[in-house]
Amino acid sequence: MPKFRFSLETLRRHRENLEQKARDELLRLTYNYQVELGRCNELRKKFQETLKEISIKRAENVAGEELEWFYLYLNRLTHEIQESTKRLDQLKSEVEAQKIVVVEAAKKRKTLDLMKAKKEKQFVFALEKQEQKEIDELVVTRFTGREPVDQRSAEVPNRQANPEKDGE
C-alpha cells in the first residue's frame, strides 16, 4: 500500500515554524509588558508612600531643606512614571501588532493543514476504490474460471431421482 505524501509538506512545516517564531515573539513582548507594568505599579506605590511621608513631615514641622529632598524625589518619581507609561503604551501596541501577526501565521498554516487533510482524504478514497476494483477483478476471475456450483448440484439430484432414464 503506497504512503500518502503531501506535496506542500515542506511549505506547511515552514509556515508552522514561522507561526511558532511569531508566538515566541508574542510571549517575549507580553513578558516585557508585564515586567514594565510591575515596575510602573511599584513606582506609583513609592510615589504614594512618599506623599504620605511628606504629609507626616509637614505635620511634624520638619525643616524646609528636608522637605525639598522629598519634593525632588517626587519629581524624579513622576518623571519615571511618565517614562514607564510611555514604554507601556509602546509595548502594548507592539503586543497588539504581534497578536495580529500570530493570527495571520496561524491562518496560513491552518489553510495548508486543511489542504493536507483534504488531499489525504482523497488519497484514501482513491486507494479504497482501487482496492475494491482489484477485489472485484479477483472475484470475477475466480468465478469465470469455474463452472457454477448451482448447475452441477442441480444435475446430480435429477440423475438419482430418475434412475430409469439412465438405464434406457
**pTM to 2 decimals?**
0.69
Domain ranges for the chain: 9-162
Residue 151 has a pLDDT of 52
Question: For 62-110, what is each residue's pLDDT tens digit?
Answer: 778 888 998 999 999 999 999 999 999 999 999 999 999 999 999 999 9
Which residue ranges of the chain lie beneath pLDDT 50? 166-168
Q: What is the 3-state secondary structure (H, E, C) of the chain?
A: CCCCCCCCHHHHHHHHHHHHHHHHHHHHHHHHHHHHHHHHHHHHHHHHHHHHHHHHHHHCCCCHHHHHHHHHHHHHHHHHHHHHHHHHHHHHHHHHHHHHHHHHHHHHHHHHHHHHHHHHHHHHHHHHHHHHHHHHHHHHHHHHHCCCHHHHHHHHHHHHHCHHHHHC
Report pLDDT for 168: 44
Q: Provide the pLDDT for residue 2.
A: 82
